[in-house]
């Protein structure tokens, strides 16, 4: 069995590749490396079950596969802030291309969407029936509206072409391979704590988040794809336990053994005040819920960042040893 993962060298995509290979699948990963990193998949370079194709999704060759996981897209405020047009393109034309691959292969399809489709929610927690409160021209619009379009396109392929597709809305996720410089809360706070720098909290820190560890999320993706009766369904995947940003900062400082102090900066434009998934549908229909504790996940994530910061400046700059990328260019 062979799975296609778009965005397969990204934070989530690389962990999904590991899990599928562990289940006996072969994996073809497509990534253009706008935000993905070769370092995330270099441990798979010698594995005959893994193939990496470096290209834009719309120009990918025809790929024979038995399942399509569509994860390709910048996903952090830094990523889509730097690449707004590319974000809109991959969530429109890229999603179209990925759905065509699924249709041609009669393969099940999973769209990795986001809690950002709910915008700055007026309903708390957010369940799958909530339509959202999204600013279509705001600073997050390229990502929010790109994913909303991708969801509409996916469901249109279900109704028009009979594609076996499902949508997962991913809430805040963290773990090893989450880029230190991508602007999200955990890598930002962890990097600052490990460097002994001030922990920069935007606003008063009372805004809340619910963090899901990467291992839990990957198990949710697999359950959504391979459980019976999930076609045309939408699932929130996230950890319902809610904490304030200030609480997260204090916990990360403690677990990092850091003496960093918290400083408060001006609030970010269009920042989300509260975000928490209602994940009861996933638990009822998929038998899935996030189980790793926050301390478990943060300890492993901080340990990984500590290793990254101990690497040489050259390794941190290029993301992989010189020449290693050639091993990924093969097609099987």
Q: Is the pLDDT of residue 69 over 60?
A: yes
- Separation in Å, CA 187 to CA 14, 238, 252: 17, 18, 10
Question: Would you say residue 206 lies in a domain?
Answer: yes
Q: Is the pLDDT of residue 228 over 70?
A: yes
Contact (Cβ atoms closer than 8 angstroms) between residue 133 and residue 119: yes
Q: What's this model's pTM, rounded to 2 decimal places?
A: 0.92
Q: Is the pLDDT of residue 331 over 50?
A: no
- Separation in Å, CA 164 to CA 105, 110, 143, 151, 217: 11, 9, 24, 14, 21
Which of the residues are catalytic?
143
The total of structural domains in the chain comes to 1
The upper half-sphere exposure of residue 217, i.e. CA atoms within 13 Å in the direction of its Cβ, equals 29
Domain span at residue 158 reads: 2-323
Q: Is the pLDDT of residue 318 over 70?
A: no
Q: What is the average pLDDT across 102-113? A: 98
pLDDT at position 170 is: 98
pLDDT at position 313 is: 56
The upper half-sphere exposure of residue 124, i.e. CA atoms within 13 Å in the direction of its Cβ, equals 14
Question: Would you say residue 228 lies in a domain?
Answer: yes
Q: Is the pLDDT of residue 324 over 90?
A: no
pLDDT at position 327 is: 28
Question: Would you say residue 254 lies in a domain?
Answer: yes
Q: What percent of the chain has pLDDT over 70?
A: 94
Q: State the average pLDDT for the chain.
A: 92
Question: Would you say residue 51 lies in a domain?
Answer: yes
Residues 6+ apart with CB under 8 A from 5: 13, 16, 17, 20, 27, 28, 29, 30, 69, 71
Question: Would you say residue 332 lies in a domain?
Answer: no
Residue 2's CB is within 10 A of a number of other CB atoms, namely 18
What beta strand segments (E) does 179-329 contain? 199-202, 208-209, 212-213, 234-237, 243-244, 262-265
Question: Would you say residue 70 lies in a domain?
Answer: yes
Task: Residue 133: give its domain's CATH number.
Answer: 3.40.50.720
Q: What is the pLDDT of residues 29-46, one digit of tens each?
A: 999 999 999 999 999 998
Q: What percent of the chain has pLDDT over 90?
A: 87
Tokens 């369904």 sit at which residue?
233
Question: Would you say residue 18 lies in a domain?
Answer: yes
Question: Would you say residue 330 lies in a domain?
Answer: no
Q: What is the average pLDDT across 276-292? A: 97
**Rg (the chain; Cα; Å):** 19
Q: What is the pLDDT of residues 109-148, one digit of tens each?
A: 999 999 999 998 999 999 999 999 999 999 999 999 999 9
- Identify the band that residue 289 occupies on the pLDDT scale cut at 50, 70 and 90: very high
- Identify the band that residue 329 occupies on the pLDDT scale cut at 50, 70 and 90: very low
Closest CA to 4 of 36, 59, 40, 51: 51
């Amino acid at each position: 069995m062979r799975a296609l993962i778009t965005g397969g060298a990204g934070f989530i995509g690389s962990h999904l590749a590991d899990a599928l290979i562990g289940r006996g699948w072969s994996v073809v990963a497509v990534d253009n490396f706008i935000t993905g990193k070769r370092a995330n998949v270099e441990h798979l370079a010698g594995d005959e079950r893994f193939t990496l194709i470096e290209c834009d999704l719309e120009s990918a060759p025809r790929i024979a596969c038995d399942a399509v996981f569509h994860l390709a897209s910048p996903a952090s405020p830094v990523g889509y802030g730097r690449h707004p047009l590319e974000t809109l393109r991959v969530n429109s034309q890229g999603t179209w291309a990925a759905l065509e691959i699924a249709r041609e292969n009669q393969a099940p399809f999973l769209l990795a969407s986001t809690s950002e489709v709910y915008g700055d929610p007026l309903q708390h927690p957010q369940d799958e029936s909530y339509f959202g409160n999204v600013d279509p021209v705001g600073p997050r619009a390229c990502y929010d509206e790109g994913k909303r379009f991708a969801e509409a396109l996916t469901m249109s392929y279900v109704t028009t072409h009979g594609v076996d597709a499902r949508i997962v809305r991913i809430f805040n996720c963290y773990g090893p391979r989450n880029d230190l410089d991508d602007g999200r809360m955990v890598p930002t706070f962890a990097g600052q704590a490990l460097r002994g720098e001030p922990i920069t909290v935007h606003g008063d820190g009372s805004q809340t988040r619910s963090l899901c560890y990467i291992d839990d999320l990957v198990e949710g993706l697999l359950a959504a794809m391979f459980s019976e009766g999930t076609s045309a369904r939408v699932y929130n995947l996230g950890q319902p336990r809610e904490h304030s940003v200030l609480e997260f900062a204090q916990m990360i400082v403690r677990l990092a053994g850091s003496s960093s102090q918290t400083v408060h900066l001006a609030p970010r434009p269009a920042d989300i005040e509260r975000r928490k998934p209602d994940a009861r549908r996933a638990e009822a229909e998929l038998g899935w819920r996030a189980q790793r504790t926050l301390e478990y996940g943060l300890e492993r994530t901080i340990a990984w960042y500590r290793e990254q910061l101990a690497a040489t400046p050259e390794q941190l700059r290029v993301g992989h040893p010189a020449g290693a990328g050639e091993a990924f260019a093969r097609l099987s």
